[in-house]
Amino acid sequence: MFERCLRKSCGIAIVLLSVLTLYAQTKYFPPAGNWERREPQQLNIDDNSLKRAIAFAIANESKTPRNLELAHFQTFGREPFGEPVGPFRERGPASGLIIKSGYIVAEWGEPARIDMAFSVTKSFLSATAAVALDKKLIRSFGDRITDYWTPTLVYEPGRRFDRGENFGRPTFLEPFESENNKKITWEHLLRQTSDWEGTLWGKPDWADRPDRDVSAWLSRQRNEPGTAYEYNDVRVNLLALCLLNVWRRPLPEVLKKFVMDEIGASDTWRWFGYENSYVVIDGNIVQSVSGGGHWGGGIFINSYDMGRFGLLTLRNGTWNSKQILPADFIAQAKTPTISQPTYGFMNWFLNTDRKLFPSAPAKAFAHIGNGTNLIYVDPDNDLVAVVRWIENGKIDEFLGLLTIAVSGSKPKM
């Protein structure tokens, strides 16, 4: 009797496993170098509504100059210490892709063009943190970073250690020495709630989007790490340096091997840091990359590779039944930050209570960068949209048109 029940239970388990495996295999993942297209009507998308959404995106191309170096000087370049320290590249026209159930159903502009992605870079940066967690290089995102930090030597060509004027000058970079900075965890940096204080690569933390009250730049009371959200690119670049420290190899190599190659991305994307962001690791001069294009640099990438990354996050970090980004990382990335409920891990913007995108489903999320560069992910409709160089204030209206096209109606209020 017991043996019969056991055999029956095992049989049910095997059948269930087979069904789940078959279900995973039925999901389409584009192979490297190829991406299958489908007509919108093949996937129950209203073609006319989709064309209206795309026409809207094209008509609302960003008004900032296509010369992104000029655009920098008109915006971030006005900040204290706002001089560029990384490369810029002139951008292309409004461009993008619509991906439904893994298939490309529409594209416009120049999706093959390699353009700056600005802060979409942060999502790729957090992916290297995810893999570090999976590889046990980081035990827990709740750990203090100071417990992982090791003396880091900044590469300065021509620097001499035998000159009297260098006596007493710090030899190593030590960003976690203060009482406040010692408390900072990996999660604090990932959620942009660290309130880290310091200067990195010539940029003081207070010089990024500085307070209008100039008296507060150097004297304000610091927040307890984890209690207050502040979008700050100096601290993002600090996270990149911390991850370089634990990986002991360039982060672009990490991203390529463990993420981009796994999802069949091209070899055309590049990730840059700054002219002064080099450190010496194991006798090698290595550039610490930036988390965006605030002062230049960041990831330069085409829309197709952005779409593959968006599809990876839509599928909860899996690709062809292989877990590329650990499931617990995905869960944390999609968990709202207490002090900023529309932000998960960088740069996973969440539609919590539909506050970010009122015209989109509540479960939707996005990887967003200046420009505007957008990887929009809608699990309800099995949808990814890459939208580049659209006016920021027009994103929600575009998403509303797109939602009508793929679902036939606006999301319920």
Which pLDDT tens digit goes with each residue over 28-38?
999 999 999 99
Q: Where in the chain is the domain with CATH 3.40.710?
A: 30-114+297-407
For residue 39, give the amino acid letter: E
| pLDDT reported for residue 18 | 46
Long-range contact set of residues 391-398: C-beta below 8 Å, sequence gap at least 24: 391/60, 391/61, 391/62, 391/63, 392/62, 394/56, 394/57, 394/60, 395/357, 396/357, 396/358, 396/359, 396/360, 397/56, 397/359, 398/53, 398/56, 398/57, 398/60
Residue 92's Cβ-side half-sphere holds a number of Cα atoms within 13 Å equal to 20
| pLDDT reported for residue 23 | 45
Q: Which residues contact 151 (CB under 8 A, 6 or more apart)?
A: 171, 172, 173, 174
Q: Exposure string (b/e) for 336-354, b if CB count within 10 Å is 16 or more?
A: ebeebebbbbbbbbbbbeb
| pLDDT reported for residue 161 | 84
| pLDDT reported for residue 220 | 87
Do residues 260 and 310 make contact, with C-beta atoms less than 8 angstroms apart? no
Which residue in 60, 279, 7 sits closest to 151, CA to CA? 279
Q: Which residues contact 216 (CB under 8 A, 6 or more apart)?
A: none
Kindly report, residue by residue over 163-196, the tens digit of the pLDDT: 888 888 888 999 999 999 999 999 999 999 999 9
CATH number of 30-114+297-407: 3.40.710
Kindly report, residue by residue over 239-270, the tens digit of the pLDDT: 999 999 999 999 999 999 999 999 999 999 99
Do residues 330 and 317 make contact, with C-beta atoms less than 8 angstroms apart? yes
Please give the average per-residue pLDDT across 315-333, as a whole number. 97
DSSP 117-159: -GGGHHHHHHHHHHHHHHTTSSS-TTSBGGGT---BEEP-TT-
Do residues 237 and 263 make contact, with C-beta atoms less than 8 angstroms apart? no
Which residue in 366, 362, 357, 359 sits closest to 400, CA to CA? 359
| pLDDT reported for residue 24 | 47
**Whose structure tokens read 């190599």?**
253
DSSP 209-232: S--S-GGGTTTPPPPPTTS-----
Please report, to the nearest 10 degrees, the dihedral formed by the alpha carbons of residues 220, 226, 228, 230 taken in order. 90
Residue 5: pLDDT above 90? no
Q: Express as a percent the part of the chain with pLDDT over 90.
A: 86
Residue 7: pLDDT above 80? no
In angstroms, the CA 205 to CA 285 distance is 25
Q: Exposure string (b/e) for 38-73, b if CB count within 10 Å is 16 or more?
A: bebeeeebbeebbeebbebbeebbbebeeebeebbe
Angle at 183 between CA 79 and CA 242, to 5 degrees: 65
Query: Three-state SS across 386-405?
Result: EEECECHHHHHHHHHHHHHH
Tokens, residue 333: 């990335």
Assign residue 81 a region (left: φ > 0; alpha: ψ between -120 and 50; beta: otherwise).
left
